Homo-oligomer: A and B are copies of this chain.
Amino acid sequence: MPAIKDVARRAGVSVATVSRVLNDHPSVRADTRERVLAAVADLGYRPNAVARSLRTDQTRTLGLVISDVLNPFFTELARSVEDAARELDYSVVIGNADERPDLQDHHVRTLMDRRIDGLLVSPTDGGSPMMLAAARAGTPMVFVDRWIEGEGLDRVPVIRTDGRGAIRALVAHLCALGHRRVAIIAGPAATTTGRERVDAFRSALREFGLELYEDHIGQGDFQADSGRRVTARFLDLPHPPDAIFAADNLMALGAMDEIRARGLRVPADVALAAFDDIPWFVHTDPPITAIAQPTGALGRAAVTALIDLVEGRPAESVTLSARLVTRRSCGEPERSKP
């Protein structure tokens, strides 16, 4: 693989001149530029990004640590982040934490070792040591979707979706359809989205004169298996719930598995709704009512904020809103239309 000095030799100039041509420095004579460019083309030379990064102390790379790649919400987020970053000539390196704090720490460490310019995180747990260290050390950092609190973290912008409005709409929908004993499969209490969704659900229920009983709050971990387990516990209760709200789409999948395994029907026996909409929800049996996040906008806003930080501009937190997409998993749709 040719290096800059090979190009220099072939073009009969010094490496400095080659470097200037490569970086569009103005003071290079036109014919010299031509000669260098010709040499570059002849050799198929490409600048070594590793060497360049060492010298300039920037990698034009962003790290994205997400909780679970298999969750379509995060895949979509990753995709929009990559698209937005590419527009601005940045690359993205994804680390999949698989909802495991140790893996999250591993990825943050690896990314920091690689000297990425900025870090986009959707934190899994309360306080990964590496992440705190990175934030304190002044690494440009932005939280997406979820965030954590802690000292040194108050200056980290949070790009997220507020689900309260949509959750309230969902509760209204459930009430209108006659559901009274509603339950929630919550995310880990260590995550903000985990807690927030339970809180919003509880407040909305109260507003409608309903209560969220302790044994109708199941602890999940945002993965399918936990949805199955929690649903099993709900259905074994002396008075099982007549509606279940899963705090993410994978737990909803698990819930469906369990409901189906018991020969029960959605929504006749138990209604089901999920946070995070995905294309497949249109085609499940029945189509699942879900709360949709503006994933593309979320990813774009996150990249904008992070790159602002990286390039020394101030960045602010952004909160977008989710919206309810009504389908048939909570009961027949309102008879508003014929």
Residues of A that sit less than 8 Å from B by CB? 1, 44, 46-51, 53-54, 59, 69-70, 72, 75-76, 78-79, 82, 86, 91, 93-94, 96, 106, 109-110, 112-115, 133, 137, 224, 253, 256-257, 260, 279-280, 282-287
Interface contact B79-A96, CB-CB below 8 Å = yes
Interface contact B91-A110, CB-CB below 8 Å = yes
What residues of B have a CB within 8 angstroms of the CB of A286 in the complex? 285
Chain A to chain B: the 6 pairs with minimum beta-carbon distance, closest first: A285-B285, A280-B280, A49-B113, A283-B284, A50-B53, A49-B114
Interface contact B59-A70, CB-CB below 8 Å = no
User: Nearest Cβ in chain B — how far from A195, in angstroms?
Assistant: 27
Interface contact A46-B112, CB-CB below 8 Å = yes
- Quick one: given A70-B76, A114-B50, A283-B253, are A96 and B109 in contact (CB under 8 Å)? no
- Quick one: given A78-B69, A82-B96, A133-B44, are A115 and B49 in contact (CB under 8 Å)? yes
Complex CA distance for A70 and B48, rounded to whole angstroms: 31
Complex CA distance for A257 and B94, rounded to whole angstroms: 31
Closest to A224 in B: B279
User: Nearest Cβ in chain B — how far from A276, in angstroms?
Assistant: 13
Interface contact B137-A46, CB-CB below 8 Å = no
Interface contact B69-A75, CB-CB below 8 Å = yes
- Quick one: given A46-B109, A51-B54, A115-B48, are A137 and B282 in contact (CB under 8 Å)? no
Interface contact A69-B79, CB-CB below 8 Å = yes
Q: Could you jot down 12 A-B contacts, CB within 8 Å? A: A46-B109, A46-B112, A48-B54, A48-B113, A49-B113, A50-B54, A50-B114, A51-B54, A86-B106, A224-B279, A280-B280, A283-B285
Given contacts A253-B279, A284-B284, 19 further A-B contacts (CB under 8 A): A46-B113, A47-B113, A50-B50, A50-B54, A51-B54, A69-B79, A70-B72, A70-B75, A79-B96, A86-B106, A91-B93, A91-B114, A94-B94, A257-B282, A257-B283, A260-B283, A283-B284, A285-B285, A285-B286
What residues of B have a CB within 8 angstroms of the CB of A253 in the complex? 279-280, 283
Closest to A98 in B: B79
Complex CA distance for A284 and B283, rounded to whole angstroms: 5
What residues of B have a CB within 8 angstroms of the CB of A260 in the complex? 282-283
What residues of B have a CB within 8 angstroms of the CB of A280 in the complex? 253, 280, 283-284
User: Nearest Cβ in chain B — how far from A6, in angstroms?
Assistant: 14
What residues of B have a CB within 8 angstroms of the CB of A76 in the complex? 70
What residues of B have a CB within 8 angstroms of the CB of A115 in the complex? 48-50
Complex CA distance for A201 and B47, rounded to whole angstroms: 47
Complex CA distance for A174 and B257, rounded to whole angstroms: 26
What residues of B have a CB within 8 angstroms of the CB of A44 in the complex? 133
What residues of B have a CB within 8 angstroms of the CB of A224 in the complex? 279
User: Nearest Cβ in chain B — how far from A78, in angstroms?
Assistant: 7
What residues of B have a CB within 8 angstroms of the CB of A51 in the complex? 54
Interface centre among A46, A256, A257 (most CB of B within 10 A): A46
Complex CA distance for A270 and B75, rounded to whole angstroms: 31
Closest to A68 in B: B79
User: Nearest Cβ in chain B — how far from A200, in angstroms?
Assistant: 26
What residues of B have a CB within 8 angstroms of the CB of A59 in the complex? 50
